[in-house]
Amino acid sequence: MSEIVPVGGGRWLIPVDYMPGMRVPGVIYADDRLIEAVIEDKAYEQVANVACLPGIVGASLAMPDIHLGYGFAIGAVAAMDVDAGVIVPGGIGYDINCGVRLLRSNLEVEQVLPRLEEVVSDLFSTIPAGVGSEGKIKAGRADLLGVLEKGAAWAVEQGYGFSDDLDRCEEGGRMAGASPDAVGERAFKRGSPQIGTLGSGNHFIEVSAIEEVYDDRAAGAFGLEEGQAVIQMHSGSRGFGHHICADYIGVMSAAMRKYGIDVPDRQLACVPFKSEEGRSYFAAMACAANYAWANRQVLCHLVRRSLSRVFRSSAESLGLDLVYDVAHNIAKIEEHEVDGARIMVCVHRKGATRAFPPGHPDVPEEYREVGQPVLVPGDMGRNSYVLAGTEEAMRQTFGSTCHGAGRLVSRAAAKKDIRGRELKARLAERGILVRGPSDESIAEEAPEVYKDVNAVVDVVHRAGISRRVARLRPLGVIKG
């Protein structure tokens, strides 16, 4: 593709004249090898399509883990002027506030390895996982309203966690502006039994080892050190968020003609941010975001309870403290500098993570000197990373960076070509224990279906939009 040209700093430019209707250029972060995958699956076309949306400012951005998604590519970032721009459900995704949570511990890897089989088995029996999985919490209408309005705080109030967990969540684990009145009945029905469940797809619980520390100061602030066992959790808003996205795509598809909006892809159905439909979707999206934070808070409680049972010690004694909880399918109203002026924008991050710098008021006070923790899971056969946000991210990407490795192979193709039982045996030979609802669900998430997260992180680190703090390796994995 001669139209995509390297411009330095790990960036590739899609010029504004690449296709009719583009209002801003496209910028893709990648190295020479990663850009080949972007070109092969034509994810760059979605980057160009997003550049046509009304009110978009700066550039249509894509992180190095970019791959095809619904409307927006997964790994995309786009900021819309709140006065002149639109809001796009396809720019947030179906699993609203899918995100990652990291627990530290006082356990050294050498203490965990002799009991790894017991740890993984207990986690798998404790945490509901898989398609349509339901938890032990059957939230009635009043409980669910509390979840949607309070987020993670609702879970803490019910005894699922510690109050200081909330200080270490993006947005404090609660997004303002949520209105249950904007949520359809289908979402309520799906959401009621799914709080405290992992779900399916790429969701997971992973016991990991801190393999290498790159930034001693930041790692110290986060409570991380080499040889330490930590736990990652990846889940979102489950069926509740799915129905909100589906409902509002229908609403916006019908409303676009009223607002005179034309888009190059019908999956980019959108309305003005300040329209009645736009405000209603944002209020419903905030409900789903709060549901996801409550869900991860309960999952965190279940993990603590499981490890306390295995190691016969309290969560406090084991040092099972939350490091941070980040969202990577969400839209936020933020102030950013665009063309020399500070303006309010609606930043869509779909498969992208916020990466705010040292000194930013939205970074928890205990981390403010080193920057926001950024959690980047890889795959169950390679590495994951803890990064930190930077000032350069504010200048280049509206304070955003990558969220994971990024798929190379579809789930259908993975199930056709990979045998889950053989994969489990292969990983076990390397000391990585994997459990899942089925062999097929494990095959879908094989390491070879993902890009190499080490290359993805190298791109964002070199570009300066986040910096490496620590590298993790998997020990035991529960797949959804």
Amino acid at 28: I
Burial class, 23, CB count within 10 angstroms (exposed 0-12 / middle 13-18 / buried 19+):
middle
d(CA 472, CA 480) in angstroms, rounded, equals 20
Please tell me whether residue 77 adopts helix, strand or coil conformation: strand
Three-class SS of 43-58:
HHHHHHHHCCCCCEEE
Report the alpha-carbon distance of residue 409 to residue 361 in Å, rounded: 39
Cβ atoms of residues 477 and 428 within 8 Å: no
Work out the burial of residue 314: count CB atoms within 10 Å of its CB; fewer than 13 is exposed, 13-18 middle, 19 or more buried: exposed
Residue 95 has φ and ψ, to the nearest 5°, of -95, 80
- Enclosing H/E stretch for 427: helix 420-429
> What tokens were used for 450?
């993902």
E strands along 297-392, which residues?
322-327, 329-338, 341-350, 352-354, 373-376, 384-388
Cα–Cα distance for residue pair 354/370, rounded to 1 Å: 15
Chain-centroid distance of CA 297 in Å reads 15
- Say which DSSP state 446 is in: -
Active-site annotation holder among 203, 336, 348, 403: 403
Clarify whether 403 is annotated catalytic.
yes
| Phi, psi (deg, nearest 5) at residue 396 | -95, -40
- Residues annotated as catalytic (active site), given as ranges: 403
